[in-house]
Chain A
Amino acid sequence: MRDSSGRLIPDLKRDAFEIRDNGELRTITIFSNDPQPITVALMLDMSGSMTAGFLRVREGTLRLIDALSPADRVRIGSFGSEIALSPLLTGDKSTLRRVALEELWPGGTGTPMWSAINAGMRSLASEDGRRVVLVLTDGWDTGGLSGWTGGAAEARRTAVLDSFMVYAIGVQSLLPLRDEIVSLVDETGGGHFMASSTEDLGATFARVADELRHQYLLGFTPAILDGKEHKLDVRAGRGTSVRARKSFVAAK
């Protein structure tokens, strides 16, 4: 939730919101604006084109780690020649720093972004609560790697079916993030940001973490439980900008 100048609005009440399920207004039965811990798979682009920004990415990651709250958990992953996810999903800052300093290697030969996003979601499949994949990349997918399945269509399907949220940070590129990744981010209620070549990535990461922590939790009963995908529309008052999932599956 942001106001017209882009600032987060953390103190709205239940009656400020409206939820529509396939266009039908629904009663909000669960509401919380308490700060929420975050569970994130952080997927970092280590392809060759990101080499000149390697230190920025690593320093930004270390700043994100410093900004974590005690209940937050992060898994650090990277993609380039390989897709490498740490087996450790943790909020222990010394462990996360160790992974960031010992296990990030620039100069990969490809950008298997969609495979990496799918891998990030799979790595959080058994986690409860709100699950986020945060991908940092300068560019466009160059195709998957042998054994690492999943393209854009599978990513969307998994994100909608299993309620993942995707955030994307674009860096360095002369081109904006591709429409496909922006579309997935919007679809899942996430956010996308562009960071210039000199912008402090740590600040961008911290902004994402802050936004994730101050999201509202809204619950409702779907109009019908038909096992199908429903359009979801969440609104708040005039002058506000709401980011929420665009659809959900009304499980029978």
Chain B
Amino acid sequence: MTRSAAWIIVATTVATLPARRPPLQPTTVTEYVAVAGLDGASIGPLRADDLEVLSDGVPVASTALDDTAAPLSLLVLIDASASMPPTLNRLALAKTLDSQLFARLRRDDRVRVGSIASRLLFESHFTADRIELRASLDEAITGNDDHLLKPLDGPRPIGAPTEGHIRPLIEGPSPIWDGLWEARLLLDSERRHRTILLVTDGKASGNTHGFDDTLHALALGGVTVSVVGEVVEAMVTQVGGRAAVVQPNQLLQQLASQTGGLFFTDGKLLKDTKSVDTQTELPVSATLPLEQILERLMTDFQQAYAVSFPTLGDGEFHRLAVRSRRAKVVVRARPFYFAPRT
């Protein structure tokens, strides 16, 4: 073999090897976990060794913990569509949301209000101004854009009349998943415990984004979603003897459990029966009036602690479990976390 032929063979071999990727780098992930006593009461300052963090079932070597509850950025998203049950007293809902959520805001908490009617409406900024929030809520619940709520840029609802000012139509579609998608984007710049409270009947329609894509985006963004559902479940006999089970709560329940939130419907807390860690299951409450549900939720939102732990920045989702080492303390976290590639 000549020298030139030997060089050609070597060059060909090198060119066909796959490009080597840089090794994965460690990174630190911060997750917000809800920590409360068995009765839902605050448990005071936490220490890092009060909690055990497991990633893919393996205890994480070291964690850092903010010993005080994290400030809250809350987006209250109201389904104002006509499919919401006619028995819903919208004014009473507004009053109760105000008294149980806005009246309990701490100094560093912030809220933004949004509405799902045929168009998505959002307040222009996060605020702690209770008067402004109540006024926005009144608009949101009736699906109006009179003053504080503004529609996102975008076309009118598909098929709507083209003349004149297009008021949000409550008899239009209910783009619940699109509403959550946009809410996640609005929360993106908030560097604190980010939560969405969704009040809805779950009858989603007119969405650009599907449920799976929306859930994935929420999980990626580390946003918790809790749901108060005005949900009517039905089993309907069909012609021919079959039964159709209409379950708007099914996706809502999955939404809450997969993002570390809570789901109340008909005054009851619904557990996700596929929970992977029985220690973190909350006791199922008896039927509660709306005031107590919202009080419970706000307490939960305000008892979130930032837990940071090391992991490999591989750009993948990993199973997460967080347990309390203290007696009579319940911890709730998302079942998955995302480790951004570094």
Chain A interface residues toward B at CB < 8 A: 41, 51-56, 75, 77-78, 81-88, 95, 98-99, 102-109, 118-120, 122-123, 145-150, 172, 197-198
Asked if residues A106 and B159 are in contact (CB atoms below 8 Å), the reply is: no
Q: How distant is the Cα of A98 from the Cα of B251 in the complex, in angstroms?
A: 13
Q: How distant is the Cα of A172 from the Cα of B248 in the complex, in angstroms?
A: 25
Q: How distant is the Cα of A238 from the Cα of B132 in the complex, in angstroms?
A: 74
B119 → chain A closest CB, angstroms: 11
A221 → chain B closest CB, angstroms: 31
Asked if residues A87 and B236 are in contact (CB atoms below 8 Å), the reply is: no
Q: How distant is the Cα of A135 from the Cα of B231 in the complex, in angstroms?
A: 28
Q: A52-B237, A105-B248, A198-B239 are in contact. Are A82 and B171 (CB under 8 A)?
A: yes
B248: chain A residues within 8 A (beta carbon): 105
Q: Does B234 contact A (CB under 8 A)?
A: yes
Asked if residues A146 and B171 are in contact (CB atoms below 8 Å), the reply is: yes
Q: How distant is the Cα of A99 from the Cα of B213 in the complex, in angstroms?
A: 13
Q: Can you list 18 A-B contacts with CB-CB less than 8 angstroms, sorted by A residue number?
A: A51-B244, A53-B238, A54-B236, A54-B244, A82-B83, A84-B206, A86-B158, A95-B210, A102-B210, A102-B251, A104-B205, A118-B159, A122-B162, A145-B82, A145-B169, A147-B169, A148-B171, A197-B239
Contact of B82 among A81, A85, A102, A123 (CB under 8 A): A81
Q: How distant is the Cα of A197 from the Cα of B237 in the complex, in angstroms?
A: 13
A95: chain B residues within 8 A (beta carbon): 210
A149: chain B residues within 8 A (beta carbon): 161
Q: Is the interface of A mostly helix, strand, loop or mixed?
A: mixed
Asked if residues B172 and A84 are in contact (CB atoms below 8 Å), the reply is: yes
A103 → chain B closest CB, angstroms: 4
Q: Does B208 contact A (CB under 8 A)?
A: yes
Asked if residues B207 and A103 are in contact (CB atoms below 8 Å), the reply is: yes
Q: A51-B236, A52-B239 are in contact. Are A84 and B210 (CB under 8 A)?
A: no
B38: chain A residues within 8 A (beta carbon): none
A102: chain B residues within 8 A (beta carbon): 204, 207, 210-211, 251
Contact of A86 among B82, B171, B207, B246 (CB under 8 A): B207
Contact of B171 among A81, A99, A198 (CB under 8 A): A81
Asked if residues B236 and A119 are in contact (CB atoms below 8 Å), the reply is: no
Which residue, of B167, B203, B208, B248, has the highest number of chain A Cβ atoms within 10 A? B203
Q: How distant is the Cα of A120 from the Cα of B173 in the complex, in angstroms?
A: 13
B242: chain A residues within 8 A (beta carbon): 55
Name which residue of chain B comes closest to A118, CB basis. B159
Asked if residues B173 and A82 are in contact (CB atoms below 8 Å), the reply is: yes
Asked if residues A85 and B239 are in contact (CB atoms below 8 Å), the reply is: no
Chain B interface residues toward A at CB < 8 A: 81-83, 86, 118, 157-162, 166-167, 169-174, 203-208, 210-211, 234, 236-240, 242, 244, 246, 248, 251
Q: How distant is the Cα of A145 from the Cα of B169 in the complex, in angstroms?
A: 9
Q: How distant is the Cα of A95 from the Cα of B157 in the complex, in angstroms?
A: 19
Q: A55-B242, A105-B83 are in contact. Are A119 and B210 (CB under 8 A)?
A: no
B159 → chain A closest CB, angstroms: 3
Q: How distant is the Cα of A86 from the Cα of B205 in the complex, in angstroms?
A: 7
B237: chain A residues within 8 A (beta carbon): 52
A246 → chain B closest CB, angstroms: 25
Asked if residues A82 and B207 are in contact (CB atoms below 8 Å), the reply is: no
B203: chain A residues within 8 A (beta carbon): 105
Contact of A83 among B171, B208, B244, B251 (CB under 8 A): B171
Given contacts A87-B208, A148-B169, 12 further A-B contacts (CB under 8 A): A54-B246, A55-B242, A81-B171, A82-B82, A85-B206, A103-B204, A103-B206, A105-B203, A145-B82, A147-B161, A148-B172, A198-B240
Q: How distant is the Cα of A81 from the Cα of B232 in the complex, in angstroms?
A: 15
A86: chain B residues within 8 A (beta carbon): 158, 205-207
Name which residue of chain A comes closest to B205, CB basis. A84
Q: A81-B171, A147-B172 are in contact. Are A54 and B238 (CB under 8 A)?
A: yes
Q: How distant is the Cα of A184 from the Cα of B13 in the complex, in angstroms?
A: 71
Asked if residues A119 and B160 are in contact (CB atoms below 8 Å), the reply is: yes
Asked if residues B172 and A82 are in contact (CB atoms below 8 Å), the reply is: yes
Name which residue of chain A comes closest to B81, CB basis. A82
Name which residue of chain A comes closest to B159, CB basis. A119
Q: How distant is the Cα of A147 from the Cα of B253 in the complex, in angstroms?
A: 32
Contact of B244 among A55, A108, A172 (CB under 8 A): A55
Q: A78-B205, A87-B206, A147-B161 are in contact. Are A107 and B239 (CB under 8 A)?
A: no
Name which residue of chain A comes closest to B157, CB basis. A85
Asked if residues A103 and B236 are in contact (CB atoms below 8 Å), the reply is: no
B246: chain A residues within 8 A (beta carbon): 54, 105-107
B67 → chain A closest CB, angstroms: 42
Name which residue of chain A comes closest to B207, CB basis. A103
A120: chain B residues within 8 A (beta carbon): 159
Q: How distant is the Cα of A82 from the Cα of B174 in the complex, in angstroms?
A: 9
A145: chain B residues within 8 A (beta carbon): 82, 169, 171
Contact of B160 among A51, A75, A147 (CB under 8 A): A147
Which residue, of A41, A75, A99, A105, has the highest number of chain B Cβ atoms within 10 A? A105
Asked if residues B169 and A85 are in contact (CB atoms below 8 Å), the reply is: no
A75: chain B residues within 8 A (beta carbon): 158
Name which residue of chain B comes closest to A120, CB basis. B159
B257 → chain A closest CB, angstroms: 18
Asked if residues A56 and B238 are in contact (CB atoms below 8 Å), the reply is: yes
Asked if residues B158 and A147 are in contact (CB atoms below 8 Å), the reply is: no
Q: How distant is the Cα of A172 from the Cα of B239 in the complex, in angstroms?
A: 9
A122: chain B residues within 8 A (beta carbon): 159-162
